[in-house]
Amino acid sequence: AQTVTQSQPEMSVQEAETVTLSCTYDTSESNYYLFWYKQPPSRQMILVIRQEAYKQQNATENRFSVNFQKAAKSFSLKISDSQLGDTAMYFCAFMKHAGATNKLIFGTGTLLAVQP
């Protein structure tokens, strides 16, 4: 069975600085997807970034980038130039490639506070 581990329950960063959120996972699959979702306070969960395991290049979306280390089964999220609006709960998630049902397995989340 697949598992996703986020070892940092809470983190804090100053506005404009860079922060890295950690995620490790365990799977015997060779092809899969990894995601970071963001849940702002009292607002809907949204996708931040996705990575396909067969792609070696790390995904980037504006200020958000990942460090995907397939052999180490590590998938960290880097947020550059942190903004107050980045304050949220961040969830790392895993999805097997095979099949059409798109089931996600989530980590326990990291609560990020961006301080002014």
Partner 1 sequence: DVKVTQSSRYLVKRTGEKVFLECVQDMDHENMFWYRQDPGLGLRLIYFSYDVKMKEKGDIPEGYSVSREKKERFSLILESASTNQTSMYLCASSPTRDSRAPNEQFFGPGTRLTVL
Per CB under 8 A, which region of 11-19, 55-63, 68-76, 95-103 contacts partner 1?
Answer: 95-103
Of 85 and 116, which has the nearer Cβ to partner 1?
85
Binding to partner 1, residues 40-79 (CB under 8 A): 43-47, 50
* DSSP E strand stretches across the chain: 3-5, 10-14, 19-21, 24-26, 32-39, 46-52, 60-61, 64-69, 74-79, 88-96, 105-106, 110-115
Per CB under 8 A, which region of 4-12, 22-30, 62-70, 80-88 contacts partner 1?
Answer: 4-12
Of the candidate residues 91, 94, 112, 114, the single one contacting partner 1 (CB under 8 A): 91
Pairing of strands 19-21, 88-96: unpaired
Provide the phi-psi class of 42: left if phi over 0, else alpha when psi is between -120 and 50, else beta.
left
> How many positions of this chain bind partner 1 (CB under 8 A)?
23
Which residues contribute to the site for partner 1 (CB under 8 A)? 4, 6, 9, 33, 35, 37, 43-47, 50, 91, 95, 100-104, 106-109
